[in-house]
Amino acid sequence: MKHLFSVCCSLFITTLLFAQDGHELWLRSSKSQPVNIVCSKKTPTLSVAMDELRRGWQGKSGATITLTITKEKALKYDGFKLSENAVQANNDKGILYGVYELLRRQQTGENITSEVNNPSYETRILNHWDNPDGSVERGYAGHSIFWRKDEAFTVTSQDKKLWQEYARANASVGINGTVLNNVNAAPQILNADYLNRVKVIAEILRPYGMKVYLSVKFSSPALLGKLKTSDPLDPEVIAWWKAKIKEIYSIVPDFGGLLVKASSEGQPGPQDFGRTHADGANMLADALKPYGGIVMWRAFVYSPNDKDRAKQAYNEFMPLDGQFRDNVIIQVKNGPIDFQPREPFSPLFGAMKNTSVMPEFQITQEYLGHATHLVFLAPMWEECLQSDTYQKGEGSTVARCTDGSIYQQNHTAIAGVANIGLDANWCGHHFAQANWYAFGRLAWNVNLKSEQIAEEWLRLTFYNDSSARTGSSDYNASWTNDFLKPVKQMMLDSREAAVNYMTPLGLHHIMSANEHYGPGPWWAPKGMRADWTPPYYHQASVIGIGFDRTTKGSDAVEQYHQPLASQFNDPATCPEKFLLWFHHLPWNYTMKSGRTLWDELCYDYDKGVQQVRSFQKTWDKVQPYVDSTRFTAVQRSLRSQCQNAILWKDACLLYFQQFSRMPIPYALERPVNNLDEIIKNDSRRTAE
């Protein structure tokens, strides 16, 4: 009876927790203490900093805090130094970031140390794949917060409020730039109507230290300027871009620069005119240079004819190393294919020694369950950033090869493809907010641990409930034990779970066509270019499974520095998480566990499902600590995630079993779906 009573009480308490739509993100208003602020300068950014201090001060009541702008060599970019009662920086942005850090530490109860706190990258930028009609490519959280179809150029007070909230959220985690439109760029974004809207956005973002950037279509001179060509070496084209960029800066004086997806997936590029990526990027860079703007030129390129898509970015860009202007940064996705649940790092990292290179991560979960699956991405990014490229000896991690530690880069940057839309909670899934948060935190400090980020985010996002604020130290202890610990563990395990139930052992690109949500290892319509079809990637046959990228295969291993090339080349030394990325192996290949490859695959898929089930248990148990709105939303998503995980497992195992011709180990739960029906439903859905 006692147990029952306490359970009832718990459930009862839950319903009293104030309903939370999640719009406040990790910036949940909390009771603040009076504070005195001493600041000798006055800028809009300093005003924001002071407002934030008044709004969120949780230090000693009536304390005095001093904000000091003074040049100090140890401080880089927008770095700062912190003490309990002072923030010091080289500029007002540094002060603002220092204030957010101070307030975060007050709220999470972390020590406030006096160390220098510099950002890892100069530019920490979001890429919005938002189209002028308001749709968001690979967006799962509603329409664009920047663009809309109807009343496209009216700026409402609601727009401004939202953009300010957006700016504040970004600033609070150190994000200082944003590309406002899709890399698959509509040319009209450069028209005056759009640029005027960009101007308003920039004005609202500016006090928060954020610069705006635009994606441009390389053929804009022809499409928009009615020129005969968009050849980057054509004087008229050069003139057109110069004029356009001048126009942009006349409207947005601190405009950040341009992002370009060229000669990729049907987008035009310099190759259309017999020019190189360098020709194209440098032409734009020259036009931007006078204003301090940069060009972020994407290395995401592949042609339908190559034998191994994974090799192409390297093959196209390495010959151009050293040929780019110093305000060009080559933007490289974390892996060589495309934001898969797991990829080895792109071999371009560290290899381009005379060119600025920036990592591009995907915050929106295009291949990781959209806004339905709970997948905390920090471990994936950490895995990439801490990968050792060996390009300048041991310790040449992707992080150190891009943040200026190893190579002299005039500019350093890191980009994240945003998961933000008009949904009340911004990101569709409440836990997807953690990925926005994590991207900002890692961009600031590339060496932060996923666990630290998860804990910070949970403390900021889920502790600050009304019931919690009235709570005793008993409540704090039980919150830490019964909520924080298990939920943090769930977050930390979530990406590996997704890998397990989607693409274990180095499998990749076996998702359902186009929608990139469910499984689709069978998808290969007649006439479709092979490198868009899963069989190209998994190569499953009665002989075995996996893409042979060894020296005897496509030789993609050769793009990696030793000892990696040799390590990846040998199945005995290749990490098993990358095994089928680099190797085509027989179904009965013996794994380190002693199991056959087929059995291991079955166990991994099964484990993924079991992990999601364990997440469901974890979440259901924490009901007493979460407001009902967010509790129910996450609970429902986890249910869908579990169903989808089972679908992935059933589809992939039943599909591959046609080739392995081996039974799913009988210790494992059996499929509940039939392959033919999964395929039928999938093709019906994707045809809609």
Q: Where does this chain bind a copy of itself (CB under 8 A)? A: 1, 4, 7-8, 11, 588, 596, 613, 616-617, 620-621, 623, 636, 638-640, 642-643, 646, 661-664, 666, 669-674
Paired tokens of 507: 């499998």
- Strand 80-83 versus strand 116-117 pairing type: antiparallel
At residue 80, the 3 state secondary structure works out as: strand
Residue (8 or 152) nearer to a copy of itself, CB: 8
Q: Extract long-range pairs of 184-188: CB within 8 Å, 24+ residues apart.
A: 184/129, 184/131, 184/137, 184/215, 184/261, 184/265, 184/267, 185/214, 185/215, 185/216, 185/217, 185/261, 185/267, 186/131, 186/132, 186/217, 187/216, 187/217, 187/219, 187/220, 187/223, 187/224, 188/132, 188/224
- The SS3 of residue 222 is helix
- For a copy of itself, the closer of residues 45 and 616 by Cβ is 616
Q: Which of 193, 265, 620, 669 is catalytic?
A: 265
**Least distance from C-beta 85 to a copy of itself, angstroms?**
46
Q: Is the separation of the CB atoms in 646 and 527 below 8 Å?
A: no
Element (H, E) at 474: helix 473-478
Residue 366 annotated in active site: yes
CB neighbours (10 Å) of residue 551?
A: 14
Q: Which is nearer to a copy of itself, 561 or 595 (CB)?
A: 595
Q: Are 645 and 652 in contact (CB under 8 A)?
A: no
CB of 634 to a copy of itself, least distance (A): 12
Q: What is the DSSP string of 266-297?
A: TB--GGGGT--HHHHHHHHHHHHGGGT-EEEE
* For a copy of itself, the closer CB: 402 or 618: 618
d(CA 615, CA 374): 9
Buried-exposed string 121-132: b where 16+ CB fall within 10 A, e elsewhere: bbbbbbbbbbbb
Minimum gap (Å) between residue 140 Cβ and a copy of itself:
19
Q: Which is nearer to a copy of itself, 523 or 589 (CB)?
A: 589
In whole angstroms, the minimum distance from the beta carbon of 684 to a copy of itself comes to: 17
Q: Of 4 and 572, which CB lies nearer to a copy of itself in the complex structure? A: 4
650 belongs to the catalytic site: no
Beta-strand relationship, 116-117 and 86-89: unpaired
Nearer to a copy of itself by C-beta: 460 or 612? Answer: 612
Per the residue annotation, which of 366, 382, 465, 493 is the catalytic one? 366
Q: Which C-beta is closer to a copy of itself: that of 54 or that of 636?
A: 636
Alpha-carbon distance 625 to 11, whole Å?
Answer: 9
CB nearer to a copy of itself: pick between 348 and 375: 375
The first and second tokens of residue 401, run together, are 């090869």
Q: How many residues does the chain have?
A: 688
Minimum Å distance from CB 649 to a copy of itself? 13
Rounded CA-CA distance 301/299 in Å is: 6
Spatial separation of the C-alpha atoms in residues 214 and 261, rounded to whole Å: 11
Q: For this structure, is 599 an active site residue?
A: no
Q: Could you tell me the smallest distance in angstroms from the CB atom of residue 617 to a copy of itself?
A: 6
Shortest Å, Cβ 370 to a copy of itself: 17
Query: Which residue, 217 or 370, is less far from a copy of itself as judged by CB?
Result: 370
H/E element, 166:
helix 157-172
User: What is d(CA 35, CA 57) in angstroms, rounded to the nearest whole number?
Assistant: 7
CB 362 within 8 A of CB 416: yes
C-beta of 678: minimal distance to a copy of itself in Å? 11
| Cβ-proximal residues to 606 (8 Å cutoff; 6+ apart), any chain | 649, 668, 669
The least distance separating a copy of itself from the CB of residue 428, rounded to whole angstroms, comes to 17
Tell me phi and psi for residue 546, to 5 degrees.
115, 160
Nearer to a copy of itself, 265 or 669 (CB): 669
Q: How far is the CB of 599 from a copy of itself (least distance, A)?
A: 9
Phi, psi of 483 (to 5 degrees): -110, -60
The distance of closest approach from Cβ of residue 24 to a copy of itself in the complex, given in angstroms and rounded to an integer, is: 26
97's tokens: 């970031």
Specify whether the backbone of 633 is left (phi greater than 0), alpha (psi in -120 to 50) or beta.
alpha
User: Which residue among the candidates 279, 338, 388, 423 is catalytic per the annotation?
Assistant: 338
Angle between helices 192-205 and 157-172 in degrees, nearest 10: 50
Which sign, positive or negative, has the C-alpha torsion 555, 557, 563, 567?
Answer: negative
62: left (phi over 0), alpha (psi -120 to 50) or beta: left
Nearest partner of 361 among 461, 265, 256, 495, judged by Cα: 495
Closer of 471 and 665 to a copy of itself (Cβ): 665
Cβ 15 to a copy of itself shortest distance, Å: 10
Count helices and strands in the chain by DSSP H and E runs: 22, 13
- Please name which of 172, 145, 209, 204 lies closest in space to residue 27, comparing C-alpha atoms: 172
Please give the positions annotated as active site.
Answer: 265, 338, 366
